[in-house]
C-alpha cells in the first residue's frame, strides 16, 4: 500500500510532483519521519529505518519467552506506520456505511480473507474452498460467548475480503440460512468491485502482477482499487 499502490495518478494530482516523488505514502496515510525533502535520500532512509526496526524485533523475539512481546511490538509498529490521514479515513468510513457495517452497533464481526487471483500461484499457498473457510467460522461461532449467552437472537456480521468475484456470493449462500447457537449470520462486503474484477482477470498469473496492473489504471480507477484494498485491510485488522 505504501509503495506500488500509492504510485497512481490520483496521488500525483493530490500531492503534487515533489511530494509524490519523495513520499507517495502520504497520499493515504499520515507522514512518518522517513519522508525526506530530497528524493535521492528516500531509498536509503527507508532501508536503514526498516533494517533497524527488523533488527530490534529479532532481538526481542530471541529473548526467552518473548514471542508475544515481539508480536505486540510488531502490531504496534504497523498500527503507527499505517495511520490513515483524514481524507482516507473519511472515504473508508463511507465505505463502511455502504456495505452495512455500523461501527457504533454492537454486532459481533468476523472477517474472512479469501485469496484467489495471483496469490494461489505462490508456492506457500494453495486454493482453499469456501467450505474450508466456513467450517472454522462456524466452529468459532458455536463456542463464542456472544452466541451462547441469553436467549435473544444475535446477528454476527461476516465481512468477506477477497480478490474473487465469486467469493462473496458463495459465502452468503452457505451462511444465509445458518445459525450457530443464538447467532445468525449476515454476510457483508463489496461484491463485484474493481479490484475483484482485476483479480479474477489475473487468476493464476504470477504473484505481484496485481500491483503492477495498478500502475496502468487511470486516476479514478486507481483510487477506487486502492481504497478497496485499504478497506479490506481495515476490516480484517482493526476489528
- Distance (Å, whole) CA 219 – CA 3: 16
Is 65 buried (19+), middle (13-18) or exposed (0-12) by CB count in 10 A?
Answer: exposed
- Mean per-residue pLDDT over the chain, rounded: 79
Query: Alpha carbon 174 to chain centroid distance?
Result: 23
User: Is a pLDDT exceeding 50 seen at residue 43?
Assistant: no
pLDDT in tens, 13-24: 888 888 888 788
- Distance (Å, whole) CA 69 – CA 32: 23
pTM above 0.85, yes or no: no
Amino acid at each position: 500500500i505504501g509503495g506500488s499502490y500509492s504510485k497512481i495518478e490520483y496521488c500525483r494530482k493530490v500531492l503534487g510532483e515533489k511530494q509524490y516523488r519523495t513520499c507517495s505514502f502520504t497520499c493515504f496515510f499520515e507522514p512518518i519521519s522517513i519522508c525526506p525533502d530530497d528524493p535521492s535520500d528516500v531509498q536509503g532512509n527507508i532501508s536503514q529505518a526498516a533494517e533497524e526496526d527488523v533488527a530490534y524485533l529479532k532481538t526481542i523475539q530471541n529473548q526467552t519467552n518473548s514471542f508475544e512481546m515481539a508480536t505486540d511490538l510488531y502490531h504496534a509498529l504497523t498500527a503507527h506506520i499505517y495511520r490513515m490521514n483524514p481524507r482516507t479515513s473519511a472515504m473508508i468510513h463511507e465505505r463502511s456505511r455502504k456495505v452495512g457495517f455500523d461501527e457504533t452497533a454492537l454486532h459481533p464481526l468476523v472477517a474472512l480473507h479469501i485469496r484467489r487471483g495471483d496469490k494461489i500461484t505462490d508456492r506457500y499457498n494453495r486454493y482453499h474452498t469456501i467450505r474450508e473457510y466456513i467450517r472454522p467460522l462456524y466452529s468459532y461461532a458455536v463456542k463464542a460467548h456472544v452466541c451462547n449467552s441469553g436467549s435473544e437472537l444475535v446477528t454476527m456480521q461476516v465481512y468477506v475480503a477477497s480478490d474473487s468475484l465469486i467469493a462473496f456470493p458463495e459465502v452468503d449462500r452457505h451462511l444465509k440460512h445458518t445459525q450457530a447457537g443464538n447467532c445468525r449470520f449476515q454476510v457483508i462486503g463489496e461484491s463485484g468491485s474493481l479490484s475483484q474484477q482485476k483479480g479474477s482477470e489475473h487468476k493464476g498469473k504470477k504473484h505481484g502482477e496485481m500491483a503492477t496492473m495498478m500502475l496502468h489504471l487511470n486516476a479514478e480507477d486507481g483510487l477506487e482499487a486502492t481504497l478497496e484494498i485499504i478497506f479490506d485491510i481495515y476490516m480484517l485488522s482493526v476489528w
